[in-house]
Amino acid sequence: MRVLTTTGIFSVKHPKDGDELVYGLTPASQLLVGSSSLAPFISLPIHGVFVSPFLGLGSWLQHEHSSPSLFEMTHGQTTWYMNDHDPTFSALFNEGMACDSGFIMDIVITSCSDIFQGLSSLIDVAGGLGGAALAIATAFPNIQCSVLDLPHVTANAPASTNVKYIAGDMFDGIPSANAIFLKWVLHDWGDADCVKILKNCKKAISPRDAGGKVIVLDIVIGDEPSSIKHKETQVLFDLFIMAVNGVERDEKEWRKIIFEAGFSDYKIIPVLGVRSVIEMYP
């Protein structure tokens, strides 16, 4: 409890006359309780499957750059192979991402509603169970929203929603749409893979004068961190994403893959804490 109070997870009051300490919720821990709890999302990075690889960090650092990821060295398979073949891990991952979508998308839609104005169709690429797409479709009923994900994911998609689910692979191709949405996808991949994904996105969208664009919700390192907690979060995500050979990028690194993929321009809009929206234009 001393650790948790020092880091701001709980508050503590020191009563007089030797009574027991009284602990309370803080804004951070309040996010973990109630109907809108972020517990499923927080459970993902602190689950043993992600924590255990760091026990072998010293050995991994002694390998050559081309060595398997820290996650793969520990488990003998990549994160994405495990997600495809282990139903328990897949459920943990998809529930965590759906929980995060329920939280962050309300903020994105409220503070950045203009990025969705004028769109007629949108595909949420690697959108999982469709939390983000459903939030967009609810807020903007004129936008025809779809989710593209692997067949085993779309097979478990919720029924009776106004979101269409498409089985496919973003590395093979993306169906045509006015706009493409990518939430916390590109930071999972190295530059070459990101350029391939973005090239497929560019092929799928309308021309710029018809409103075509790619909308990315991701971390931009160094993008106006307003407090020490934001800086801590940025570097901790650096450490976490390193385990799967992902990359958290600053603006220079984002610009590199954006232009290599053939886009003509981009715009970064800070949203909440360490996360920003990046609009990419063909």
Mapping DSSP to helix (H, G, I), strand (E, B) and coil, where does residue 8 land? coil
DSSP alpha helix (H) spans, 140-207: 151-154, 191-204
Record the tokens describing residue 169, joined without a space.
Answer: 């692979």
Q: How are beta strands 10-13 and 275-281 bridged, if at all?
A: unpaired
CB neighbour list of residue 65: distance below 8 Å, 6 or more residues apart:
none
Token pair 């991701």 is at which residue?
218
Report yes or no: 3 and 62 within 8 Å, Cβ to Cβ: no
**Active-site residue, from 63, 65, 152, 187:** 187
Active site residue 187: yes
Question: Cα(274)–Cα(230) distance, rounded to whole angstroms?
Answer: 6
Report yes or no: 60 and 54 within 8 Å, Cβ to Cβ: no
Q: Which amino acid is at 173?
A: G
> Looking at the annotation, which residues are catalytic?
187
